[in-house]
Structure 1
Amino acid sequence: DLDRWNATYNPSNYNYGNKTVEAGRHRGLTVWPWTYFEESDIAADYLKGVTGLTTDAAWKFSDLVTDISSENVTADDVMNISKPTAKKQSGESFTLDDAEAVKIEDIDADNSLMIWRYKADLLLNGSSFGNYYLYSEPFVFTKGVNENDLLFGDADYNKNITANDAAYIMQKTLVNTFEMPIQSKTDNWFKYVDVDADTNITAKDAALVFQKTLQSSIEFLAEKNK
């Protein structure tokens, strides 16, 4: 393999073929043809998988998406993972709302190795010349609760504060063995249901949650102490 030598091949952009690019890519040889200016030539060879293109018109590449962020994440479902950010050749950053989380393999029952995949437009000098796919570095998705997403008083864990939450808390005060949905989601459930922060689950907590449904501006003591 040639990659250990950091080897490269620099032909004229008319003096090589697809087989050269493919053979080089599989053997660690980068191919950097020269010199490009016309958008159609740039697009054709970019989509062939040419490693690098030498040009006197680098500004034409400004809109190309070149990098996708990735970081390990915890959420209750893959569909609820925050979308990644990306960078264009110009340095502009933006959120990839259309990025797709793709599972590579399961690590165990709660963790999966994943990557982001994004179908980008090949934009050169403001015009589209087709599409290409970008992939992020791998990241680990852990199925669980991201406590930054939890709401105080959300006993049924539906990400809304409703009278149903007050009913769950009241039921908990009457039947201590009753398990609220939030308890099955996180071991730290108590502080999110003990909204008056008195270290007890009582009817007062239920009343405060119900009051919150009627007057959204009310702030629980537990919220102030977080």
Structure 2
Amino acid sequence: MNIYIDESGSINNHIKNNKYFIIALVRTFDITAVKKAYKRFVSSNYSRLMELDQDKISPKTGRIIKEGSKMFKNGKFKELKGSQFDKEMKQKFVDFFAQKNSFEVYYIRIDNEKLTDKLCDNTARVFNYTLRLALEYFFNERYLPDEDCLLQLDERNEKTESVHFLENYLNTELFMNGTTVGKFIVEYFDSIDNNIVQIADVFANLYYSHMQTGGYNEELNKLKKSGILKGLFTFP
């Protein structure tokens, strides 16, 4: 079983307009098919993606209100970033991938306003602990099969000196409590080098945007009806 993970937002209970932190898990059935779909999506929307990746300038002040160059560098495409998408592009993304049957999406929603200051002192701990609880829930509810699992994450989610912590943590906790007999392998990537982590990034930002604005009910319902959106775990 292959699961690709990325997030949107930040784990912080003191930032204004930062109510939620979202983690998206993309479980693939056919990696080759997903990667081919990724390439088709990029190529068919290349010009628009480049346009969306330009600096956004305030017409009143002339200042940059949103930095570009997240998806392109020197005119060359690097990676998909959901934070650079507008609503129309997110709708195109959902319409395109809702036709695929080669992966599933699971969400984890962390309510920042319910986190204590002590928890927020170590955001990596919150991330790892919540991921462990969510996986336990998805296994127990039979969303995920009881088998070996390769987790691939954006390397920003873990400090270099503790890259093996999550793997050991999941293997210890979820095996010892009887959740799964499968083995976890955890790998970290620069998202530029992992197309499916980038897809997880866009799905995470889609749900994050929905929690901020409430404006993506239609897209989320489309993912549910297509069988792609499978489950949601909330914390705390």
Q: TM-score range by the shorter chain?
A: under 0.3
Give the structure-1-normalised TM-score: 0.21
Q: Which has the higher contact order (CA 8 A, sep 6+)?
A: 2
Q: For the pair shown, which has the larger CA radius of gyration, 1 or 2?
A: 1
